[in-house]
Amino acid sequence: MTDATMTPESARPSRSLIHEDARTKKRNASERRFRAYGIAAIFTGLFFLVALLAAILSSGLPAFRQAVVEVPFTLTQEQYDAAEKALLKTGIYTDYFVTSLTQTMESEGVEIEFDEKAIERLLGKVGGDLRKFYRANEDQLEASVSFELAAASRVDRYLKGTFAREDLQSGNRFFMPEDFDLIDAMRDAGLIKQVFNWNFLTGVDTGVDNPGGAGIGASVLGSFFMMLVVLVLSLPIGVAASIYLEEFAPKNRFTDFIEVNISNLAAVPSIVFGILGLAVFIQFAHLPQSAPLVGGLVLTLMTLPTIIISTRASLKAVPPSIRDAALGVGASKMQAVFHHVLPLAAPGILTGTIIGLAQALGETAPLLLIGMVGFVARYPGTFVEGFIEPNSAVPAQIYNWAARSDAVFTEKAWGGIIVLLLFLITMNTIAVILRRRFERRW
């Protein structure tokens, strides 16, 4: 048998360790080529990563700064009472503010021709903020209060340099060419300035005509509550299922069938879970629409296979000698698993769980179907309401903003991506720290 492949000793070419023969050269060359491919692949990956990060940061960081109009403003009791009687109360507050700002500008010596319409164009939607402040602080009536209120989106973009004079061919009711001079004059008078946009981090979504006021805070909270539901449900269920399958279940056709199905479930497109969630949780179980609870349940279904697969892999990686030793000194099977195998597998389980959560965090498609992609503009009142009140999620909010016509919303969508990335990095850091802490080598 082996004779056929054996080469007679005499026919073998003489070899030297110092001089490479042709075949060795060829092999070495192909190895060098392979290394070059590998390095090229890594650099291509790195290039895209850097390009992506640069694009995200350059487009998204401006969202964290905002042009504001800073003016001292006094509201009288009379004005307050009159405004509260109107239907569109915020509109009246805006009018008061415009009038007051016009007077301030005259006294500050802004020497450019302007009318109240121009001031209105340059202001964001200030009425809502004003009314909220005075409703909460009625004692501030008649007193001079210094407000920092969002300027209109074009003012914001002009100060950030993304909207220049040459971009404007002709004016319309949103902006007129002469408004540029007015902005310059107001900036010189210290009435308009750029500040860090805290509202972007703490605020809620706004209507399309108020890009300056939009914030991602409520949707971050929505994502947080969803992740809480996912963690609380998928970790115990996933770990219990994998421990049973790995340590206790008999090996037969039925468990094989289950295993194959779990692997397949991990590859099911997420939108399918969204349809399932709509049919089961909302239409059958009558859970509230647009609620993080339902979103969390849907994402739990999506995350379970990931967690089960990674948990089983880390259970498998625990050496059998550990189990044998435990059983050998008289531990029951359950004691062996819970006292010895599970603690050793914990770092792997945690990593798998957090990867699963991170995947769920970025998911938009299933949320589309259960009504979480929409206009939701408020914070939940209490902890329990956080689960059942309608809310959005960070990726859904980004998707929403990216579809709006005002360029400041697009900027905020990029800013939202930065927030999402920070959220993810935090989760991954926790995973790394936990892993380091509990990892045991043998």
Point out which residues bind other proteins (CB under 8 A). 86-91, 127-128, 131-132, 163, 167-170, 172-174, 205-210, 228-229, 231-233, 235-236, 239-240, 243, 282-283, 286-290, 293, 296, 334, 338-339, 342-343, 368, 371, 373-378, 383-384, 387-388, 390, 402-407, 410, 437-438
Helix (H, G, I), strand (E, B) or coil at 193: strand
- Given a contact cutoff of 8 angstroms between Cβ atoms, the answer to whether 182 and 114 are in contact is yes
Nearer to other proteins, 39 or 433 (CB): 433
Least separation in angstroms between residue 15's CB and other proteins is 58
Distance separating alpha carbons of residues 66 and 200, to the nearest angstrom: 9
Distance separating alpha carbons of residues 11 and 138, to the nearest angstrom: 104
Least separation in angstroms between residue 405's CB and other proteins is 4
Tokens, residue 412: 């905020």
Nearer to other proteins, 21 or 81 (CB): 81
Least separation in angstroms between residue 221's CB and other proteins is 14
Distance separating alpha carbons of residues 87 and 425, to the nearest angstrom: 46
Nearer to other proteins, 85 or 253 (CB): 85
Nearer to other proteins, 44 or 137 (CB): 137
Nearer to other proteins, 262 or 373 (CB): 373
Least separation in angstroms between residue 78's CB and other proteins is 20
Q: How many other C-beta atoms lie within 10 A of the C-beta of residue 377?
A: 16
Distance separating alpha carbons of residues 320 and 317, to the nearest angstrom: 9
Nearer to other proteins, 87 or 267 (CB): 87
- Given a contact cutoff of 8 angstroms between Cβ atoms, the answer to whether 173 and 426 are in contact is no
Least separation in angstroms between residue 288's CB and other proteins is 5
H-helix or E-strand spanning residue 149: strand 144-150
Least separation in angstroms between residue 163's CB and other proteins is 7
Beta strands in 47-143 (DSSP E): 65-74
Nearer to other proteins, 198 or 248 (CB): 248
Q: Give the chain's length.
A: 442
Largest CA distance in the chain: 114
> In sequence order, what are the residues at sequence separation of 6 or more whose Cβ sits closer than 8 angstroms to the Cβ of residue 178?
118, 171
CB-count exposure of residue 413 (10 Å: 0-12, 13-18, 19+): buried
Q: How much is the CA Rg of the chain, to the nearest whole Å? A: 31
Nearer to other proteins, 64 or 133 (CB): 133
Least separation in angstroms between residue 170's CB and other proteins is 7
Least separation in angstroms between residue 123's CB and other proteins is 12
